[in-house]
Chains A and B, each alone.
Chain A
Amino acid sequence: MEQPSSHLRIKRAEDVSVVEFADRKILEELAIQEIGEELHQVVDCEPSIKLLLNFKNVDHLSSAALGMLIRLNKKVKEQNGDLKLSDINRQIFEVFKITRLNRVFDIHDTADEALARFQA
């Protein structure tokens, strides 16, 4: 079941919500805010959500985008959900490493690997 939205493409893989980004650059403040709001709504609808963010279309992001992801991660954890990130390219992963956020987020090389790791 695919839900169209301006910034996100959301699909279902069994009991996991898989989100891909429509924007290659998660940079602009307004877009980040809208993405954040859309993702919070997705989490609101499913309290113990299993959520996978697939970064395959993303080739640039900013610290504001990292802040949005941190807030989302916190919300998912508070609701006993599970958030995973996948398909982060080398340059973007370097940003996660430099900021030590690779220790905060559950990051996998591919969506398939991430999907296999969600607890039943």
Chain B
Amino acid sequence: MTVPSEFGVREADLVELVVPNDLRSVRRSEARIINELARCKYGADVTFAIKLALEEALTNAVKHGNDNDASKRLVVRYSITPRRTVIMVRDEGHGFTPNRVPDPTSDENLERPSGRGIMLMQAYMTRVHFNEAGNEVWLLKENREERPAWTG
């Protein structure tokens, strides 16, 4: 669970939460992070981007990583400063291969009801890093104006 070096944050700066794998607990951890963004006076667009990416990361971890199993747990680590936000979500699953997820914006996948979570994280965050197993994702968002972008 080492923070990627290019994320510009030290291990010691990360707050860690161990979250039961249920919606209420997950919402509480989200609210804590969102409140911290407000305290650091993040603007509306950056806050929107982080909320979206965080929601996608947590949903993937709860549903896919932890199989909706209420006996499992997530680990969430985060650092929020006025300059940047770093969030990590780790589940107890065996992981997956992020680059094997089909591009949801291609014509053949466009009307599939699922498969957009990772793409939205990557479009809205400054950087996204998965560990090798794929059961841990790191999100970095610099607190500056960045248009979301996806090149497929």
The answer to whether A and B interact is yes
Interface positions of A (Cβ within 8 A of B): 27-30, 60, 62-64, 66-68, 70-71, 73-74, 91, 94-95, 98-101, 103-104
Interface positions of B (Cβ within 8 A of A): 23, 27, 44-45, 48, 51-52, 55-56, 59, 63, 104-105, 110-114, 116-117, 119-120, 123-124, 148-150
**Hey, which chain B residues are within 8 Å of A62, CB to CB?**
52, 55-56, 59
**Hey, which chain B residues are within 8 Å of A104, CB to CB?**
110-111
A23 to B19 CA separation, bound complex (whole angstroms)? 25
Closest to B107 in A: A100
Known: A63-B56, A99-B105. A28 touches B23 (CB 8 A): yes
Interface SS majority for chain B: helix
A60 pairs with B48, CB closer than 8 A: yes
Closest to A69 in B: B113
B114 pairs with A67, CB closer than 8 A: yes
* B2 CB, nearest partner CB in chain A, Å: 28
B113 pairs with A30, CB closer than 8 A: no
Interface SS majority for chain A: helix
Known: A63-B116, A91-B45, A94-B148. A100 touches B52 (CB 8 A): no
Which of A60, A63, A100 has the most chain B CB atoms closer than 10 A to its own CB? A63
* B133 CB, nearest partner CB in chain A, Å: 23
A70 pairs with B111, CB closer than 8 A: yes
* B105 CB, nearest partner CB in chain A, Å: 5
A117 to B33 CA separation, bound complex (whole angstroms)? 42
Known: A28-B23, A66-B116. A101 touches B52 (CB 8 A): no
* A62 CB, nearest partner CB in chain B, Å: 5
5 further contact pairs, Cβ within 8 A, besides A63-B56, A64-B114, A70-B112:
A60-B52, A68-B113, A95-B120, A98-B119, A99-B120
Partner of A28, one of B27, B45, B112, B150: B27
A63 to B148 CA separation, bound complex (whole angstroms)? 15
**Hey, which chain B residues are within 8 Å of A95, CB to CB?**
52, 120
A118 to B148 CA separation, bound complex (whole angstroms)? 32
